[in-house]
């Protein structure tokens, strides 16, 4: 069965994405067709069109999404009707990284995804991070979907696939924040706010949320921050005044810029840990003094997809949401339609809100 669906397509760097009609391929062996119910607008989507990244064109945007399986190909175990979160980095389970306990670094996770058979105006079209989830429906490999409980709200299921898993995993897996630690979080989008929530849940006694916008204060407090600081020239001093003069035990950089990585470095105590969660430009170079690196004894590292195995941790997080142990409502600040995504990009670029979520079908009509 083939289908024409509406999707948000970007045709080149700096161009305004527009809703266009694309042709999905038939569902082949090992593949499923998913009707998208909700999709979050992630900063990585914006990075695809604003020049931060250099994807192939034309490109269907979107990668943080959830929906319902409506068709399954041969040799597929997930059944039609199953609710799923999409996984933009499905591990192959066979490469060196997968077999050595690091599936989030899988060498082939998105390599085959560009050979997807989707066409636009009769020509091949690429899809963001193997998914292209700003669309009514998608055809993806079975390993790119993760079953979630049917009682899990669609919006929550979508956020688990990127923002929540990335932020929570950075705290739990990469940095391993412990009870009594002090934490600073720079950048309060969906990922940064998820870091704040996870740090508080881990028992951090001080969680200092930092953003350039005063308007993020209420969101930070809703996420569990104990302090809020507007970023500026005195940021390091402001952080140290709240951490007994030492600096934080952990700093999480959730922006993806050299300047904020250096700010996170300066806000961390000697021997502390700096975890870079934001994805930045290839030409944005981070410079640190060789003497500073030695004398501060800090650790600087990245957290890719929360250093998580999505097939294990997304279902675990889903159960936490269903049980009420993990609250996500504060992350969604705008509910929009597919054609409204460019305006959501503009709000994101201005530092407004947390997550905009695209709702499809019955969800879009509020039923």
Q: What is the pLDDT of residues 191-236, one digit of tens each?
A: 999 999 999 999 999 999 999 999 999 999 999 999 999 999 999 9
How many whole angstroms separate alpha carbon 234 and alpha carbon 281? 25
**Can you spell out the DSSP letters for 58-69?**
SEE---EEEEEE
Question: What is the rounded average pLDDT of the residues 79-101?
Answer: 96
By residue count, the chain amounts to 367
The pLDDT of residue 112: 44
The pLDDT of residue 301: 97
The pLDDT of residue 365: 52
How many whole angstroms separate alpha carbon 240 and alpha carbon 345? 34
Name the CATH superfamily, with its identifier, for domain 162-305.
NAD(P)-binding Rossmann-like Domain (3.40.50.720)
Render pLDDT for 274-313 as a digit per residue (tens, 0 to 9). Answer: 999 999 999 999 999 999 999 999 999 999 999 999 999 9
How many whole angstroms separate alpha carbon 66 and alpha carbon 34? 8
Residues 6+ apart with CB under 8 A from 282: none
> What are the residue ranges spanned by the domains of the chain?
3-147+328-364, 162-305
Instruction: Decide: 274 and 299 in contact? Cβ < 8 Å.
Output: yes
Beta partners for 268?
248
How many whole angstroms separate alpha carbon 55 and alpha carbon 132? 12
How many whole angstroms separate alpha carbon 322 and alpha carbon 160? 12
The pLDDT of residue 111: 53
Instruction: Decide: 296 and 128 in contact? Cβ < 8 Å.
Output: no
Top-confidence residue, 12 or 210: 210
Mention the CATH class of domain 3-147+328-364.
alpha beta
Token pair recorded at residue 212: 């350039």
The pLDDT of residue 361: 78
Computed over every residue of the chain, the mean pLDDT equals 94
């Amino acid at each position: 069965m083939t289908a024409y669906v509406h999707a948000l397509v970007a045709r080149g760097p700096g161009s305004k994405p527009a809703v266009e009609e694309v042709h999905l391929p038939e569902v082949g062996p090992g593949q499923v067709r998913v009707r998208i119910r909700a999709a979050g607008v992630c900063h990585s989507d914006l990075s695809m069109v604003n020049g931060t990244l250099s994807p192939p064109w034309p490109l269907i945007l979107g990668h943080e999404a959830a929906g319902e399986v409506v068709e399954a190909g041969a040799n597929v175990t997930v059944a039609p009707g199953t609710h799923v979160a999409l996984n933009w980095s499905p591990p192959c389970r066979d490469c060196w990284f997968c077999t050595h306990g690091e599936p989030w670094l899988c060498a082939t996770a998105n390599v085959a995804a560009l050979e997807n058979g989707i066409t636009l105006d009769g020509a091949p079209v690429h899809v963001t991070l193997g998914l292209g989830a700003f669309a009514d429906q998608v055809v993806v490999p079975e390993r790119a979907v993760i079953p979630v409980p049917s009682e899990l709200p669609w919006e929550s299921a979508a956020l688990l696939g990127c923002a929540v898993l990335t932020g929570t995993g950075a705290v739990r897996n990469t940095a391993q924040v412990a009870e009594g630690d002090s934490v600073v979080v720079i950048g309060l989008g969906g990922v940064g706010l998820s870091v704040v929530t996870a740090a508080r849940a881990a028992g951090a006694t001080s969680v200092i949320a930092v953003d350039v916008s005063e308007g993020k204060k209420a969101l930070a407090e809703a996420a569990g921050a104990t302090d809020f600081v507007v970023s500026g020239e005195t940021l390091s001093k402001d952080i140290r005044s709240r951490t007994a003069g030492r600096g934080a035990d952990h700093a999480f950089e959730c922006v993806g810029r050299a300047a904020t990585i250096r700010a996170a470095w300066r806000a961390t105590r000697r021997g502390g840990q700096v975890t870079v969660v934001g994805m930045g430009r290839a030409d944005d170079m981070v410079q640190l003094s060789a003497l500073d690196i030695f004398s501060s004894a800090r650790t600087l590292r990245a957290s890719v997809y929360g250093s998580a195995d999505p097939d294990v941790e997304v279902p675990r997080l889903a159960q936490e949401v269903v049980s009420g142990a993990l609250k996500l409502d504060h992350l969604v600040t705008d509910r929009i339609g597919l054609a409204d995504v460019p305006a959501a990009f503009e709000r994101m670029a201005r530092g407004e809100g947390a997550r905009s979520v695209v709702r499809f079908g019955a969800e879009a009509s509020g039923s």
